[in-house]
Structure 1
Amino acid sequence: MSAHQATFVRASMIEASPAPSKESGIVHWLRTNLFATPRDTVLTIISLLILAWLVPPTIQWLFIDAAWTGGGRGVCATIAQGGSQPDGWSGACWAFVNAKFDQFLFGRYPPDERWRPALVGILFVLFLVPMLIPRVPFKGLNAILLLAVLPILAAILLPGGWLGLAYVETPLWGGLMVTLVLSFVGIAVSLPLGILLALGRRSNMPVIKMLCTVFIEIVRGVPLITVLFMASVMLPLFLPQGVTFDKFLRALIGVSLFASAYMAEVVRGGLQAIPKGQYEGADSLGLSFWQKMGLIVLPQALKLVIPGIVNTFIGLFKDTSLVSIIGMFDLLGIVRLNFSDANWSSAVTPLTGLIFAGFVFWLFCFGMSRYSGFMERLLDKSQR
């Protein structure tokens, strides 16, 4: 190569230039998502105006004008109503939530014994969190602790009557404790039972298929409130004289069976989405039915229907509020029960309590939704 030609050859690559401001950063995001077209621009402006109209007074009512501490309705009521607010009702009455917080957690559980549900809650978190983190080892041991050891400990600690613990009857249970117990048992039972029902409905054995189909269609054809009413009121009429079940246990069974019917249809949708070649490939390897399902088909089917499974879980969590029909008070039920307390009777107390209950429900449901999205991205091998 001549010296003249060498002058046109670079010894190093040119460094990449930064992207134009209109193609990256906040300006690009705004143009792409909010102001991409004239219609988007108009809708964005209208939305901003609505937010500017709603958000400031909402924040004012929820936090700035709210009553945070106090010992009765006087902190939230007007002077005309016997309170301390001169110019009208206060903002949110968080003093009511603060005063009733223990009841919102444990219901009418005896105060001296509330360490027992608190201990069960701590163990639940300690066993559940490692189970949800993919890289934490010893998943098998973790599953045994969560699904076998914890229910036994809860059955001993919560009702008592064992090992010197005072007996606490289930009508005294309530609040978030009841919501979590019903949800945990319903989720833990409905998923495996739903899988079995889905497999039974696709079975080649006519009797098994008919029984599973009849069960699913009957349960899905009635509302949960009817199932709970039947379990609480009608079931004892069909039992032998002197034989009875605890009302809370009947609610657990009713909720679990109800959720399992819906779960079965979600899982069946995943099974139908698996190509026939997967079944034939498993058969060609000489796998048994349960090996084929456990090793080949179900792992793929369940991955496809994660959104539907979590959606059923979220619905189950919210539907626990219906147990008030049989005299059990979950979080929403115990909040509404406290509205009748004359010491906290004011116009803002019910709304504040319902906002608190709604926020707690949203927090749990949003957490399940976000974890569902995380698992979908983790298991989506085709995109990696």
Structure 2
Amino acid sequence: MTDQPAPSFVRTDLIPDRPQPIKTTGFSAFLWTRLLNSPGNALLTVVGIVLLWFVIVPAIRFLLVDAVWEGQDRTSCLAADVGQSIGACWPFVRAKITQFIYGFYPEPERWRVNLTFLLAAVLLLPLLVPRLPAKGLNATLFFVAFPVVAFFLLHGGGISGFGVSWTVGFLSSFADGVGNAGRQLAASGGAGGIGSVLRLLGNTFLWTGDALNSVAWPLTSLRDWLQNSDQPVWYDLACTGVIVSLLLFLLNGAFRTGWRALLMSLMTFVGIGLVVAVMHLDRGGLPIVDTRLWGGLLVTLVVSVTGIVSSIPIGIALALGRRATIPLIRVFSVAFIEFWRGVPLITVLFFATYMLPLFLPGNFTVDGLVRVLIGIALFAGAYNAEVIRGGLAAIPRGQAEAAQALGLSYWKTTGLIVMPQALRHVIPGLVNSFIALFKDTSLVSIIALFDLLGSLRASFADPTWATPTTLFTGFAFAGIIYFVFCFSMSRYSLFVEHRLNPHGRS
């Protein structure tokens, strides 16, 4: 029997050994797989290293190596010999650090600013840690109670009345303003169709003002009794607590399910009473510090935090209004968003500071800082509305249809199903708006509010520290502060984004 040759598809020799796998861990592997894996990447790596060398090395030399760390005046930051290299003048920062933080806030009262910062940190940090309990109570304290306490801590003063007096004063001023506008419109209406429309609109405003005065009549009588009988603020606080608690009790189901709302309301007013007693608000309170004396990091944080927190509900309302089926609401939301997005922030600040008082009733005034806060909140809310609308558009229509099939109302569908998913999708966009708003607070210095950069520029006028490096040192210090806050917001947003990602890490 002869040997048959092997078929052509059968290998007669051994397969050669495969090359050793490329190492994918360690510093050397990172260099060869990420930076030097192709001629183009190698060229970009070399160019990047050269650029970093010419940027980072001089910055480190200026800020650390050649910097001056000790001194009492400008002489310590001047070069002793010709050609000597002098870096950052850190004694200047140490001498002006209180001005950078507090502005022109009176020195004996700066403990109030420190206490406000401490309360904000104590209430905010538990909100940022997901595993800590009592998020609802913590959020209520931070978003509702803390702004009131911070206002009286920073501004000072007492309270001449409480909810009844404040509510009646606001309603009366608003009703007077509406009535005056109605009388002016009615008087300006001439002959023709336009005159008839103006008279009709003016009569409508007059009727609205009279209706508001009629609604406020019981509260006005109660307010007059409290003031004429010279009752202490505790009577006003008690009346306000009873009225608000009863309203919440009735709105939450009365005798069936309203007991919890009643108890929470009463506990809240008891807490308000404790704050009033501790801060002596019923006896004049703390010394008043005008907002024109505020400055530095205090103003930056007040403006940015208030704008960020208040712009979210405004943006949500406008985003939902722009998608509404009611034409009036949709047109108003579109016009509002396009108007505020079409004007620069500087114009908004000038309008809020100098033009807004012209539209208010004569006996109704608003503090300059409050006007700025309102303008920034509306401006940021218009931008956030478009970001949130993008998140709403990313939610499939089947989500809302399934909720409606289960019998959920529009508000429950939006609040429990659609909006949480939409907000999760737009976390990067919202945080981007927050970071931009935090940096845009430097524009308030144009309207005589000295934020961090405004206080920094004011400190340059001190001849005691007039050196060639003072300007660069101050701006480097301010840049570090801005970077720390913005980078912290960016990293925390990544943490929240990964935690809320239902499909695992992206």
Aligned twin of 1:263: 384
Match of 1:305 in 2: 426
1:339 Cα deviation from its structure 2 partner: 0.8
User: Max radius of gyration: which structure?
Assistant: 2
What is the letter of the counterpart of residue 36 of structure 1?
Answer: N
Per-residue CA distance 1:158-180 (angstroms, 9 max, x = gap)? 00113331110000000001111
Query: How far has the Cα of 1:53 moved from its partner?
Result: 3.3
Report the count of equivalent residues.
361
Look up the match of 1:377: 498
Map residues 105-116 of structure 1 onto 2, 5 A cutoff.
105-116=101-112
CA distance in 2, matches of 1:72, 1:270: 55
Matched with 1:11 is none
Matches within 5 A, 1:92-131: 92-131=88-127
Query: 1:61 corresponds to which letter in structure 2?
Result: F
| In structure 2, C-alpha distance between the alignment counterparts of 1:365 and 1:58, rounded to whole Å | 20
Shift of 1:89: 5.7
Q: Distance in 2 between matches of 1:75 and 1:145?
A: 48
Residues 377/85 of structure 1: CA separation in 2 closer, same or farther (3 Å cut): farther
Aligned to 1:50: 51
Q: CA deviation at 1:87?
A: 4.1
- Structure-1-length-normalised TM-score: 0.91
Displacement after TM superposition at 1:183 (Å): 1.1
Does structure 1 conserve the Cα–Cα contact (< 8 Å) formed by 2:299 and 2:450? yes
Give the C-alpha shift of residue 57 in structure 1.
2.7
Sequence identity (%) = 52
Q: Distance between the aligned counterparts of 1:228 and 1:253, measured in 2? A: 9
Please identify, of 180-189 and 85-94, the stretch whose mean Cα deviation from structure 2 is larger.
85-94
The one of 448, 458, 468 aligned to 1:337: 458
Q: CA offsets per residue over residues 134-179 of structure 1, 9 Å max, x none?
A: 1111100110111011101101100011333111000000000111
On the 8 A contact 2:24/2:33 being kept in 1, the answer is no
Residue equivalent to 2:24: 23
User: Displacement of 1:49 after TM fit?
Assistant: 2.5
Kindly provide the CA deviation profile for residues 197-233 of structure 1, in whole angstroms up to 9, marking residues without a partner as x. Answer: 1001100011111111111100000011100000001
**Counterpart in 2 of 1:138?**
134
1:62 aligned residue? 63
CA shift at 1:375, angstroms? 0.8
Q: State the one-letter code of the partner of 1:107.
A: G
Any idea what SS the aligned residue of 2:139 has?
A: helix
Cα distance in 1 between the residues matched to 2:363 and 2:413: 46
Other-structure match for 2:149: 153
Q: 1:249 to 1:85 in 2, by over 3 A?
A: farther
CA distance in 2, matches of 1:108, 1:89: 34
| Per-residue deviation, 1:383 | 2.0
* Residues 302-356 of structure 1: CA deviation (Å, up to 9, x unaligned): 0000000101111111111111111101111110111111111111111110111
CA distance in 1, matches of 2:85, 2:461: 19
Look up the equivalent residue of 1:55 and give its one-letter code: I
Unaligned segments of structure 2, at least 5 residues: 1-19, 159-279
Does the aligned pair in 2 maintain the 1:76–1:85 contact within 8 Å? no
Checking the alignment, whether the CA contact within 8 Å between 1:321 and 1:330 is kept in structure 2 is yes
1:33 correspondence with 2:154: no
Q: Secondary structure at the match of 2:87?
A: coil
Distance 1:53 1:209 in 2: 54
SS of alignment partner, residue 114 of structure 1: helix
Q: Is the 8 A contact 2:311 2:377 kept in 1?
A: yes
- Asked if 1:180 is matched to 2:301, the reply is yes
Distance 2:389 2:417 in 1: 15
Q: Name the residue aligned to 1:208.
A: 329
Question: Once the 2 structures are TM-superposed, how far is the Cα of residue 265 of structure 1 from its aligned partner?
Answer: 0.5
Aligned AA for 1:244?
A: T
2:69 aligned counterpart, secondary structure: coil
